[in-house]
């Protein structure tokens, strides 16, 4: 039998890679983790974590208006956005060190450098060759760049560039009304920046349910955020004071001006320069082609996260990485493999069991098909909707805008999907997701006692609405 340096080589220490590496060692596999930058990947260092830190600081800043309603006078003249930036970096750096500690604790060989796959069981880092029985690609993605809208990270910003701002612009154009674009529009508007969002599609957040998105859009408009949908950006011009953006829509052509523009039009998988195609791994539009257990066309090589065509979400990458190493562990003949702890019953993630989350205010969270998709697929469904303001807690905390929507099978009442918009929606969604995964019915949620007053009562009432007996509506 062939001898390898490690049972598993993982390339990329983001949420897909480091979680997979830790899980691999828990299962008794020897593992090396290769990373060219910081542990934690994009999500932890220049994505999820620092952006959520900014969102938190922006919401704290906005609470000043509520204090003023109580008669408290605030002097904001000393406000420095650089302190907000420093807090976001502190959160990212702290968690990056935490990941490094976990890697060390789990006895994972951590190798710094740029990796290239040079064989079905071989990776080269610099001049060093390392072998592994299995190789896992988890190299993530980067912001998509558009011709004519190339990033300079001064006036034309990527999501990385906007995170690294130490001074607020007076005004900002956001190109792209997806999750990233709207989250930064949320942050900047709360800090007083005049924000205009440009989206070529008919509506913002095209992948989310239209009814819940409308709640968010109305809130944004009340705050002065202008969202131009069905609008195409045709030309970008840099000026002494910032940028000019030429746009077209049904109302004609016009020019928008701002100090900076954030281009947030998707992400590109980091699959070039890895040598994948040279060893037989097939790529489709830059994404790695995978089958069951995220195995590529090369039997010993797997890929997860943003490099495969699944939702580009950190929690998706982590779970996919777990599926891979648990499968590898069950296939291993190594005596050290703790196979009893492996539970790779899934060959791939069920897309209808993946929660999505948008960290605006109000928040949006969902799983399963939207109502429009359910209609397109001609699913025999019914829906139950309960407004947030029907739950006393939402009124008490002055967050009454929102709703809980449940789509369920009209005959069996099995939960098909759920869509929530409102305060803490990203936390509430999991009760409904667990119910679906456990094959519970709306009745089970409806009849379970929920503490009062809580926002989760809106979930209970939506479930009761599905059963035809909502109380507070």
What are the catalytic residues?
Answer: 452
Residue 282: CB atoms within 10 Å: 13
- Cα–Cα dist 286/114, whole Å: 19
Q: Which DSSP category does 91 fall into?
A: H
**Residue 234 buriedness (CB in 10 A; 0-12 / 13-18 / 19+):** exposed
Residue 59's nearest CA partner among 188, 204, 182 is 188
Cα-flanking dihedrals φ and ψ of residue 200, to 5°? -80, -20
Strand pairing partners for 124? 116, 129
Q: Return the sign of the alpha-carbon dihedral for residues 427, 428, 429, 434.
A: positive
**Cβ(33)–Cβ(138) below 8 Å:** no
Angle between helices 210-222 and 179-190 (to 10 degrees): 20
First vs last C-alpha separation in the chain:
68
Angle between helices 15-26 and 81-105 (to 10 degrees): 30
- Cα–Cα dist 262/167, whole Å: 15
């Amino acid at each position: 039998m062939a001898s390898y340096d490690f049972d598993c080589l993982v390339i990329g220490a983001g949420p897909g890679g480091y979680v997979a590496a830790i899980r691999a060692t828990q299962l008794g596999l020897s593992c090396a983790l290769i990373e060219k930058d910081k542990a934690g990947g994009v999500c932890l260092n220049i994505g999820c974590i620092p952006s959520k830190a900014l969102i938190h600081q922006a919401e704290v800043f906005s609470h000043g208006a509520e204090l003023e309603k109580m008669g408290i006078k605030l002097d904001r003249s000393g406000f420095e956005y650089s302190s907000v930036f420093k807090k976001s970096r502190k959160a990212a750096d702290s968690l990056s060190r935490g990941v490094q500690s976990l890697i060390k604790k789990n006895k994972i060989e951590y190798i710094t450098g740029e990796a290239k796959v040079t064989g079905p069981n071989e990776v080269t880092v610099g001049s060093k060759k390392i072998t592994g029985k299995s190789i896992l690609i988890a190299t993530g993605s980067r912001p998509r760049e558009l011709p004519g809208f190339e990033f300079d990270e001064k006036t034309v910003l990527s999501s990385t560039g906007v995170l690294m701002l130490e001074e607020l612009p007076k005004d900002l154009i956001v190109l792209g009304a997806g999750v990233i674009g709207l989250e930064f529009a949320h942050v900047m508007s709360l800090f007083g920046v005049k924000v205009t969002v440009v989206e070529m599609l008919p509506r913002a957040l095209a992948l989310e349910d239209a009814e819940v998105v409308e709640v968010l859009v109305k809130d944004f408009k009340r705050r002065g955020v202008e969202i131009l949908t069905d609008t195409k950006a045709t030309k970008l011009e840099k000026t002494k004071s910032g940028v000019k953006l030429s746009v077209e829509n049904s109302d004609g052509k016009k020019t928008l001006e701002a100090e900076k523009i954030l281009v947030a039009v998707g992400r590109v998988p980091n699959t070039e320069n890895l040598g994948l195609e040279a060893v037989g791994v097939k790529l489709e539009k830059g994404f790695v082609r995978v089958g069951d257990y995220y195995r590529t066309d090369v039997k010993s090589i797997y890929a997860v996260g943003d490099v495969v065509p699944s939702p580009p979400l950190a929690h998706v990458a982590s779970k996919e990485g777990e599926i891979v190493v648990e499968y590898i562990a069950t296939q291993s003949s190594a005596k050290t493999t703790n196979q009893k702890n492996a539970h790779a019953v899934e060959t791939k993630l069920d897309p209808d069991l993946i929660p999505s989350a948008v960290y605006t205010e109000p928040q949006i969270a969902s799983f399963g098909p939207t109502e429009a998709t359910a209609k397109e697929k001609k699913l025999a469904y019914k829906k139950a909707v309960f407004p947030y303001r029907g739950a006393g807690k939402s009124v008490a905390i002055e967050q009454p805008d929102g709703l809980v929507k449940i789509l369920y099978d009209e005959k069996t009442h099995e939960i098909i999907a759920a869509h929530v918009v409102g305060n803490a929606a990203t936390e509430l969604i999991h009760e409904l997701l667990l119910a679906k995964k456990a094959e519970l019915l709306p009745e089970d949620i409806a009849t379970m006692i929920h503490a009062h007053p809580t926002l989760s009562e809106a979930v209970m009432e939506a479930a009761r609405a599905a059963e035809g007996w909502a109380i507070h509506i």
